[in-house]
Amino acid sequence: MRVSIKVIPAAGSNKINGCKNGELVVKVKAQAEKGKANKELLKYISKLCGIPRSEISIVSGSVSHHKIIEIPDEYKKNIEKLR
């Protein structure tokens, strides 16, 4: 399953900020430098949804605020709860 996410780096805390234009909006504490925000995003989504970190990946947008991540279909319900 692929999920569209808009990442807002350098936020005060990691937080789901709703859904806008079909994208899940996620704030992360990490800065957008050297992949820190990407790493923090994947770690945060993994923790929230109970998905092993090794099963989540960014398939598009690694250097953009707009990303597409891929997760196994079996975790679809977990992601839908965040929206």
Average pLDDT of the chain, as a whole number: 95
pLDDT of residue 83: 78
Dist CA 2 CA 4 (whole Å):
7
pLDDT band at 42 (very low <50, low <70, confident <90, very high): very high
Tens digit of each residue's pLDDT (9 = 90 or more) over 14-41: 999 999 999 999 999 999 999 999 999 9
- Examine the pLDDT at 71 and tell me if it is beyond 90: yes
Percent of the chain scoring above 70 in pLDDT: 100
Distances (CA, A) of 66 to 37, 52, 60, 74: 12, 22, 8, 24
Instruction: Classify domain 2-80 by CATH number.
Output: 3.30.1200.10
pLDDT of residue 2: 96
